[in-house]
Amino acid sequence: MWTCPKCGRNFRNCNQSHYCGKAPETIAEYIREQPEAVQPILRQLQETIHAAIPEAKEKISWSMPTFWKGHNLIQFAASQKHIGLYPGPEAVAFLPIACRRIPPVKAPFVCR
């Protein structure tokens, strides 16, 4: 058990990556709170997903930027050393063929 000294939350893993502090309420707010170097990448990711599914509602779910249409379609999150992309099964159909070969479908795709 590890307790974050900043927010006091408890985690199973020591130095667990987590959202420390007040959770953002919008994707724009989430991106603004990330390191400056990754903000342009996250904005591009948001714009690309929005262009692909403009009817999806943008929200924060599980502390991650989420595109929702009846359920979570696709999410992304910035970590210390990577940006994770978490597509639902419907979103996988729109990924490049090389990405679709990565099993299992529910595992996150990691963009480094």
What is the nearest approach in angstroms of Zn ion to the Cβ of residue 51?
Answer: 34
Comparing CB distances to Zn ion, the nearer of 12 and 101 is: 12
Strand partners, 109: 85
What is the nearest approach in angstroms of Zn ion to the Cβ of residue 11?
Answer: 9
* Site of interaction with Zn ion (CB under 5 A): 4, 6-7, 20
Comparing CB distances to Zn ion, the nearer of 9 and 106 is: 9
| Identity of residue 60 | I
What is the nearest approach in angstroms of Zn ion to the Cβ of residue 81?
Answer: 18
Comparing CB distances to Zn ion, the nearer of 21 and 40 is: 21
Strand partners, 85: 76, 109
**Phi, psi (5° rounding) for residue 88?**
-80, 175
Kindly report whether the peptide bond that precedes residue 40 is cis, defined as omega within 30 degrees of 0. no
Which residue pairs, CB below 8 angstroms and at least 24 apart, start in 56-59? 58/26, 58/27, 59/26, 59/27
Comparing CB distances to Zn ion, the nearer of 11 and 94 is: 11
What is the nearest approach in angstroms of Zn ion to the Cβ of residue 7?
Answer: 3
